[in-house]
Structure 1
Amino acid sequence: MSRLVVVSNRVADPRKAAAGGLAVAVKESLEQTGGLWFGWSGNIHDTESGQGTHGEVRLQTVGNIKLATCDLTQEDYAGYYLGYANDVLWPVFHYRLDLANFDIRFTATYRRVNRQFASRLMPLLRADDLIWVHDYHLIPLAAELRAMGCTNRIGFFLHIPMPPPLIMAAIPEHEWLMRSLFAYDLVGFQSPADVAHFTSYVESEAGASPLPDNRLLAFNRSVRVGAFPIGIDVDGFSDLATAQDGIEMFNRMREEYSRRRLLLGVDRLDYSKGLPQRVNAFRELLALYPENRNSATLIQIASPSREDVSAYSILRSQMDSLCGAINGEYGELDWMPVRYIHRNVARKRLPGLYRASRVALVTPLRDGMNLVAKEFIAAQDPTDPGVLVLSRFAGAAEQLKDALLVNPYDTQGTAHSIQRALTMPLDERIRRHKTLMSQIRQFDVRWWSSSFLDALAQTATTDMAS
């Protein structure tokens, strides 16, 4: 059996990984093959005095898994991570061209850091390793490895959405970026829509031709593409709901809100999540359906994210203002319509919070998948389940069709769907939950990992002819 080598922007200790993260997804395969996990340590240094990505790789053995990490300099962090990855790729891939910063210096640093990662990884590789690269931070990594003589099978998985061709074409040097994906043997996306966008791009911009076995020929190279929607550890997350922390949270919420029906949002504070639109839809619910006043409470958890980026500080101020306005307009001495929490909530407590909620609002403006939707389903009591209100622009909507699908830009339409969720009869809630649960069980995190790796192992190595 070939050893699995996982490459991601950050490396996590699999022993400490919370259920649902990348660590859970790859831990089993890494353990089975005595695998290697390579990436950034999370440490930043002011200078390149032998410690940044130019320094030695640190190796750590965790059970049967080897972790290999390297540091970034402050310059590399600013240009590669904050700059190109999060000021160019993240907004563009989420359709927010207005928030992108196309500074040419970011591109140079992004390419250089990927080259440095490749040079640190190469000496650690074996001839028959199977390499799995993750996400937008590392798109050109395979091309850099190929330039250094790597002939291993290399797969890439994009965790975020793939934008349509005209949006992708807004990125300066977009052709170079997409050409880089053809250095992989297999490129995986979250949904068929993402595959269609990528296919459309390379057909229109590079004259790509379809080949058998879901392959595309362009740039004198071929690559296999496919949709591999990521899942969760369903049983593991369900167990958390009935563990001590989950039960304590459930009981506390049911006691504190015994006279209320809870609506719940759990997100990072990010402009892709549609948080202001969601809060405005809740305000519209209170205006259109007065019976929810003093009855329904929205708990919105928005964990801190990239607080040093101006777009996020603006969003935080907007959320503070919106939630304060609704509470001022509708609140009573004994009822606060919106409980807005801008901090992290321990993951082991989330299942109890999900289970105590009548409705989950998962309404991003655009999302690659959104695992909160699947976690909410897994945490429910099947005899009295809550209702999932899900944005049609989340990748999860292509799988979870028995959720109430909404357009988050349609404030009144979303409010009507929330009202439907709050008043849905028990038999309909049970029926919808049963179907949704079957879906997330069939396509769980182990299915995702094994299906991608099986496809990669069966894919012929890329034709590197130029």
Structure 2
Amino acid sequence: MGRLVVVSNRVGPLKDTGRAGGLAVALVDALTKSGGVWYGWSGEISEEGTFGAFKTTKTRKVQMVQLDMTQADYDLFYAGYANRTLWPVLHYRLDLAVFDRRFEQGYRHVNERFATRLRPLLEADDMVWVHDYHFLTFASQMRAMEVNNPLAFFLHIPFPAPEILAALPNAGSIVRSMMAYDLLGFQTARDADNFRRFAVEELGADELGEGRLRMAGRETVARCYPIGIDAEAFSKFAMTPDARRNMARLEKLLGGRQQIIGVDRIDYSKGLPERFRAFERLLEDYPENRGQVSLMQIAPPSRAELDAYIEIRRELDELTGHVNGRFADLDWTPIRFLTRSFPRRALAGIYRASRVCLVTPLRDGMNLVAKEYIAAQRAEDPGVLVLSRFAGAAEGMKEAIVVNPHSAEDVALGLQTAITMPLEERRDRWQILFDRLCKEDAVAWSDAIMADLRQVKR
């Protein structure tokens, strides 16, 4: 078996610093099994950009190779097409998408440049695994350079229904480029089905069964591979000194009251304003929770330079002030809104101290917070997950309280159900979820994709 070459927008870290996300942990495990290369953007802007020297770091089995971008590349590819065009379209927010052909040209240019620079690094038996919406056209560039290595792709965010994607200018060309991959992985069955529907209905591809498509004499497999976490390792985080310290602080602060926890980047796809309004509705419709239940929302900023994110931050500040002004008492604050990040070990303690986790995106590829919360719970006294039906995680977490995030009444009812759930029912739901997380973990996810890629290329 040859090396694994991973391509992603950002690279690393190779060691778990306590802040690495589930994706990084899974990819490091896959890379160290076979040895390989992790290739992507350095995060730096320079005049040379993709024409400059590689920045490399090497361990015994894994080499990290990174390239800079120019300011123009960053503006058009990353801030432009990736985040102003693809991100809103793929999250069903056509009203926020900016359609500018310069963005698309910049996006294709960066994909071509990254493919061109990777080509000389490849060995004949390497397998290449490309990640996320930044590199939709990458495989077509590789094939144009006569690269015949197995090429897999995984989309970490949703893939919308054909009726939505069709609004993207040149959507057919983008999807046709994706068909240059041998294997396309999606978070949910719905996402994989949406891709196959577009390929068949819009491009005339033939559906062959078991996720296989044929177009222009070439076969591509498009299947669902729900990403997991290392549940057993994350459960141990909840017993680390950092976790215990945070638990103790929260338990002292709460003084026997209950806490609902939310952890999300500030992003319009996460449904944070809707969440705050649903919590307000909980206090309105179920007044016994006043003075007894609070919401802690941890929300580090992201893409803060974009107008849509500036507006949502302003709205969240206003909603926090409104709810707190209406319901707060001398010794109780309804909403605590923290715009900072926490290491994963600290989060494990915060999760464990919280009776309910509220995960209510309007649209999400998977949402690993839902899985981390379950992993962090005490088996003898676990909390309850309230989960949006539009999170990819909902397909495999039916034992959560599944709600419609667009309905404040439905979310409030879900919260009340979670808050008042008897201990035996909480234990039963948690045990099923935790056992499934341990079985369908991050290693099983990456192993399944790699096994299918080898099978496809036989």
Query: CA-to-partner distance for each residue in 1:434-462, whole Å, 9 max, x for gaps?
Result: 1111111111001001000111111127x
d(CA) in 1 for partners of 2:293, 2:36: 49
Residue 272 of structure 1 corresponds to 269
Residue 160 of structure 1 corresponds to 157
How much does 1:219 deviate?
Answer: 4.2
Gaps of 5+ in 2: none
d(CA) in 2 for partners of 1:213, 1:254: 50
- Tell me the secondary structure at the aligned position of residue 15 of structure 2: coil
d(CA) in 1 for partners of 2:70, 2:203: 36
Query: CA-to-partner distance for each residue in 1:167-217, whole Å, 9 max, x for gaps?
Result: 100100101100011110000000101111111111110122112543101
Residue 29 of structure 2 corresponds to 28
Pick aligned residue for 1:221 from 213, 218, 240: 218
1:44 counterpart letter in structure 2: I
Which shows bigger deviation, 15-24 or 169-178?
Answer: 15-24
Q: Within 5 Å, give how 1:93-104 maps onto structure 2.
A: 93-104=90-101
- Tell me the secondary structure at the aligned position of residue 81 of structure 1: helix
d(CA) in 2 for partners of 1:241, 1:418: 24
Residue 437 of structure 2 corresponds to 440
Query: CA-to-partner distance for each residue in 1:199-256, whole Å, 9 max, x for gaps?
Result: 1111110122112543101244220111000000111111110011111111111111
Q: Are 1:391 and 2:388 counterparts?
A: yes
How much does 1:362 deviate?
Answer: 0.3
Pick aligned residue for 1:129 from 120, 126, 129: 126
d(CA) in 2 for partners of 1:328, 1:77: 42
d(CA) in 2 for partners of 1:219, 1:341: 52
Residue 186 of structure 2 corresponds to 189
Residues 22 and 442, structure 2, Cα contact 8 Å, conserved in 1: no
How much does 1:30 deviate?
Answer: 1.0
Pick aligned residue for 1:358 from 349, 355, 358: 355
- Tell me the secondary structure at the aligned position of residue 24 of structure 1: helix
d(CA) in 1 for partners of 2:339, 2:211: 44
- Tell me the secondary structure at the aligned position of residue 107 of structure 1: helix
Q: Within 5 Å, give how 1:367-386 maps onto structure 2.
A: 367-386=364-383
- Tell me the secondary structure at the aligned position of residue 56 of structure 2: strand
Residues 80 and 106, structure 1, Cα contact 8 Å, conserved in 2: yes
How much does 1:33 deviate?
Answer: 1.7
1:125 counterpart letter in structure 2: L
Q: TM-score, normalised by structure 2?
A: 0.98
- Tell me the secondary structure at the aligned position of residue 413 of structure 2: helix
d(CA) in 2 for partners of 1:346, 1:33: 29
d(CA) in 1 for partners of 2:289, 2:404: 22
Residue 78 of structure 1 corresponds to 75
Residues 16 and 25, structure 2, Cα contact 8 Å, conserved in 1: no
- Tell me the secondary structure at the aligned position of residue 184 of structure 1: coil
Residue 415 of structure 2 corresponds to 418
Query: CA-to-partner distance for each residue in 1:263-300, whole Å, 9 max, x for gaps?
Result: 00000000000000000000000001111111101000
Residues 191 and 227, structure 1, Cα contact 8 Å, conserved in 2: yes
Residue 10 of structure 2 corresponds to 10
d(CA) in 1 for partners of 2:210, 2:327: 57
- Tell me the secondary structure at the aligned position of residue 317 of structure 1: helix
1:23 counterpart letter in structure 2: A
Residues 130 and 152, structure 1, Cα contact 8 Å, conserved in 2: yes
d(CA) in 2 for partners of 1:203, 1:264: 42
d(CA) in 2 for partners of 1:383, 1:448: 29
- Tell me the secondary structure at the aligned position of residue 303 of structure 1: coil
1:159 counterpart letter in structure 2: H
Q: TM-score, normalised by structure 1?
A: 0.96
How much does 1:32 deviate?
Answer: 2.1
Residues 92 and 100, structure 1, Cα contact 8 Å, conserved in 2: yes
* Structure 1 moving runs of 4+ over 3 Å: 16-20
Q: Are 1:118 and 2:115 counterparts?
A: yes
d(CA) in 1 for partners of 2:219, 2:449: 18
d(CA) in 2 for partners of 1:166, 1:202: 12
Pick aligned residue for 1:326 from 323, 326, 332: 323
- Tell me the secondary structure at the aligned position of residue 327 of structure 1: helix
d(CA) in 2 for partners of 1:20, 1:447: 17
How much does 1:31 deviate?
Answer: 1.2
- Tell me the secondary structure at the aligned position of residue 373 of structure 1: helix
- Tell me the secondary structure at the aligned position of residue 26 of structure 2: helix
RMSD (CA atoms): 1.1
Which shows bigger deviation, 208-217 or 26-35?
Answer: 208-217
d(CA) in 1 for partners of 2:3, 2:356: 43
Gaps of 5+ in 1: 462-466
Residue 464 of structure 1 corresponds to none
Q: Are 1:174 and 2:171 counterparts?
A: yes
Q: Are 1:40 and 2:41 counterparts?
A: yes
1:312–1:232: structure 2 CA closer, same or farther, 3 Å change rule? same
Query: CA-to-partner distance for each residue in 1:23-74, whole Å, 9 max, x for gaps?
Result: 21111221122210000000012xx3xx311112222102311010000111
Which shows bigger deviation, 201-210 or 363-372?
Answer: 201-210
Q: How many residues align?
A: 457
Residue 240 of structure 1 corresponds to 237
Percent of aligned pairs sharing the same letter: 50
- Tell me the secondary structure at the aligned position of residue 216 of structure 1: strand
d(CA) in 1 for partners of 2:190, 2:210: 18
Residues 20 and 232, structure 1, Cα contact 8 Å, conserved in 2: no
Which shows bigger deviation, 213-222 or 58-67?
Answer: 213-222
Query: CA-to-partner distance for each residue in 1:332-362, whole Å, 9 max, x for gaps?
Result: 1111100001111222200000000000000
Residues 359 and 369, structure 2, Cα contact 8 Å, conserved in 1: yes
